[in-house]
Amino acid sequence: MTAIKRARRAIERSPCGRYWFDRAAADAAVDFFPRYLRFTEGEWAGRPFVLEEWQARDIIRPLFGWKRADGTRRYRRCIVWIPRKNGKTELAAGVALLALMGDGEAGGQVFSIAKDRDQARIVFNKAVTMIGWSPELSTHLTCFTTAIYCPALVASFKPLSGTSAGKHGLSMSGLVGDEIHEWSDGRLYTFVHQSSAARRQPLEFLISTAGERAGYGWDVWGDCQKILSGDIDDPETLVVIYAADPDDDWTLPETWAKANPNLGVSVKLEYLTSECQKARELPRLENDFKRYHLNIWTEQAVRWLPIAKWDACEEANKDVFPVGGWREMAARLQGRLCFAGIDLSSTTDLTAYVLVFPPEQEGGAWHVLPRFFLPAARIAERVRRDRVRYDEWARAGALIVTPGNVVDYGYLKHELFADAERYRLRKVALDPWNATQLAVEINAEGLEAVLFRQGYLSMSGPSKELERLVLSGKIIHGGHPVLRWNVGNVAVDSDAAGNIKPAKDKSTERIDGVVGLIEGLGVALAEPPAPRTYIQDNEMVVL
């Protein structure tokens, strides 16, 4: 049974003596939208806000039609979970204006809240635009930068900042909460909610898409599921969920239709088809597609680089470099400009640095040459316990085995300076968390070492560039077996802004080579381009 059907059944099960349905009130609420409001953007901008059937049937009519014995609204809170682009922000702006004027609440205070003030202003700004396009509302409401004011009722609608600080003295009569899945906690919501104690029928309208399975939003989602199932007895909350089930085939149009009630209207089939194709090609986008377009909650870390795309880079560059030719890489790149990234994540297991060689011609492929180090005493244990083929890789020359049970960084430094003799090694990147001393030693001995932080700010740009290079076949790696193993292990974290970075704690195994590759790519991309020269009239011109 879908969430919508469960919600309707929960309404039907309501004790008849406690609640009754006011058809006139439901009709009036539905009529308010096209009578007073206009759509604010896109192909519908300026047209009357006629509710879609699902909006009227599942949200507005039950929210404003069901009453208590005293004639006040049954529902004091409505939580709507729905994928992006289904018109939830426009609907929320309309509900806010209806709460401001429809109840005739003297001194009413309607607020918009979100993770921060900028997000809270999105609903507020839509309401301002609706008023500007409505001659009827414009005669009753005055819009200011930070408030919409109704002089006849001495009532207002304001966006709030994302914290509870400075919110004393509020008396909420209406509340719109946007994107619950992004809220760090529920303190602001709780503070505003508790300020409604003196109101006769306060109304809260909370809207969101799904997010990651953690934090406050995930807790609210769990409570909503329990309300729908009856495990939580909360007759004051109307829960409306449009979502695919986690077991549904996320690539099928019928699954998209199940989660997107506005498919074919504000949600375009062509757009979802394109986004689905991107997600099928790149695993990290699969979770984004499921969250934002199917309303399915996902884990934070996701598989990243498709190993098939990594392998395909060899075939794409076979005219430049032989397939499986990683052993030839060192000799063939001698004398080339390069950059290095070092990952010292562990002294008892795999440690790596990766040399990154920019293309010699614009639009060409990048070469990568990894160096991996492993303590000899760890090989047998890891082979036996974890089935990692360290012994085979060591015999093949893909690993540099160091004596003892920890990596002696002297071996790494010796190899690094040997590579500096073979190639034009411009710069070396290291994580400041555990490699500051090594950076000092490298600088003291004549190479330029820079500290490269592991946060989103530093890692996201080169991570996305690596992703682009892999998908476009612009990485020449020669099929190095240990680096390939790292690529198959790596998962990524992402933040709300769409930044990404490798997630060591959530990857299936070691990813040291990928981290070193990203660091090396990062310092290479940050390097000013080399001057280009040409001869004109027997003189050298430098660009």
Residues 157 and 55 in one domain: yes
Does residue 97 have a pLDDT over 70? yes
Residues 461 and 429 in one domain: yes
What is the structure's pLDDT at 453? 93
What is the structure's pLDDT at 348? 72
Whether 538 is in a domain gets the answer no
How far, in Å, CA of 11 to CA of 17, rounded?
Answer: 13
CB distance 78 to 206 below 8 Å: yes
Residue at 186: amino acid letter: G
What is the structure's pLDDT at 159? 97
One DSSP character per residue, 462-478 reads: HHHHHHHHHHTT-EE-T
Does residue 204 have a pLDDT over 90? yes
Residues 73 and 165 in one domain: yes
CB distance 456 to 300 below 8 Å: no
Average pLDDT over residues 409-426: 94
149-175: pLDDT as tens digits: 999 999 999 999 888 777 778 999 999
Domain, as residue range, for 182: 3-242
pLDDT category of residue 531 using cuts at 50, 70 and 90: low
What is the structure's pLDDT at 378? 83
pLDDT category of residue 267 using cuts at 50, 70 and 90: very high
Taking the alpha carbons of 8, 12, 15, 19 in that order, is the dihedral positive or negative?
positive
CB distance 262 to 271 below 8 Å: no
123-159: pLDDT as tens digits: 999 999 999 999 999 999 999 999 999 999 999 999 9
Give CA angle at 68 (63, 72), nearest 5°.
Answer: 70
Residues 334 and 414 in one domain: yes
Cβ neighbours around 106 below 10 Å, total: 10
Does residue 539 have a pLDDT over 80? no
279-297: pLDDT as tens digits: 998 888 898 999 999 999 9
Whether 535 is in a domain gets the answer no
Does residue 318 have a pLDDT over 80? yes
Residues 105 and 185 in one domain: yes
How far, in Å, CA of 260 to CA of 294, rounded?
Answer: 7
How far, in Å, CA of 67 to CA of 74, rounded?
Answer: 5
pLDDT category of residue 228 using cuts at 50, 70 and 90: very high
Whether 151 is in a domain gets the answer yes
Residues 362 and 228 in one domain: no
Beta strands in 376-495 (DSSP E): 400-402, 424-430, 449-451, 475-476, 491-494
Average pLDDT over residues 187-210: 96
Whether 537 is in a domain gets the answer no
pLDDT category of residue 180 using cuts at 50, 70 and 90: very high
Residues 69 and 123 in one domain: yes
Q: Mean pLDDT across the chain, nearest whole number?
A: 91
Residue where a domain stops, chosen among 196, 212, 242: 242
Nearest Cα to Cα of residue 96 among 120, 62, 66? 120
Residues 156 and 235 in one domain: yes
Does residue 323 have a pLDDT over 60? yes
What is the structure's pLDDT at 528? 82
CATH number at residue 492: 3.30.420.240
Q: Which residues contact 494 (CB under 8 A, 6 or more apart)?
A: 284, 288, 300, 302, 500
Whether 480 is in a domain gets the answer yes
Does residue 11 have a pLDDT over 70? no
Instruction: Tell me which long-range contacts 23-27 makes (C-beta under 8 A, separation of at least 24).
Output: 23/65, 25/64, 25/65, 25/67, 26/60, 26/61, 26/62, 26/64, 26/65
**Per-residue CA distances from 516 to 308, 324, 483 (Å):** 21, 21, 10
CATH number at residue 194: 3.40.50.300
Average pLDDT over residues 344-373: 91
CB distance 340 to 428 below 8 Å: yes
pLDDT category of residue 232 using cuts at 50, 70 and 90: very high
pLDDT category of residue 303 using cuts at 50, 70 and 90: confident
Residue where a domain stops, chosen among 242, 257, 291: 242
Q: How many domains does the chain have?
A: 3
Give start and end residues of each alpha helix (H) in 81-186.
88-101, 117-132, 135-138
Residues 210 and 357 in one domain: no
Q: What percent of the chain has pLDDT over 70?
A: 93
Residues 345 and 383 in one domain: yes
Q: Which residues contact 224 (CB under 8 A, 6 or more apart)?
A: 79, 81, 239, 241
Does residue 533 have a pLDDT over 60? no
pTM of the entire predicted model? 0.73
What is the structure's pLDDT at 496? 76
What is the structure's pLDDT at 541? 54
Does residue 106 have a pLDDT over 60? yes
Taking the alpha carbons of 329, 332, 334, 339 in that order, is the dihedral positive or negative?
negative
What is the structure's pLDDT at 7? 54
Eight-state DSSP code of residue 514: H
Average pLDDT over residues 77-102: 97
Q: Which residues pair with 428 in a beta bridge?
A: 340, 449
55-75: pLDDT as tens digits: 999 999 999 999 999 999 999
Eight-state DSSP code of residue 62: H
pLDDT category of residue 214 using cuts at 50, 70 and 90: confident
Does residue 12 have a pLDDT over 70? no
Nearest Cα to Cα of residue 176 among 88, 93, 101, 115? 93
Residue where a domain stops, chosen among 224, 242, 260: 242
Does residue 15 have a pLDDT over 70? no
Does residue 217 have a pLDDT over 70? yes
Whether 353 is in a domain gets the answer yes
Residues 88 and 121 in one domain: yes
One DSSP character per residue, 135-151 reads: HHHHTT-EE-SS-EEET
More confident residue, 428 or 436: 428
**Per-residue CA distances from 123 to 155, 321, 427, 439 (Å):** 18, 55, 48, 49
446-481: pLDDT as tens digits: 999 999 999 999 999 999 999 999 999 999 999 999
Residues 184 and 126 in one domain: yes
Does residue 202 have a pLDDT over 90? yes
How far, in Å, CA of 442 to CA of 447, rounded?
Answer: 6
How far, in Å, CA of 244 to CA of 291, rounded?
Answer: 10
Whether 543 is in a domain gets the answer no
Whether 532 is in a domain gets the answer no
Which 3 state secondary structure label does DSSP give 535? strand
**Per-residue CA distances from 290 to 247, 250, 256, 486 (Å):** 11, 7, 10, 26
Average pLDDT over residues 430-457: 91
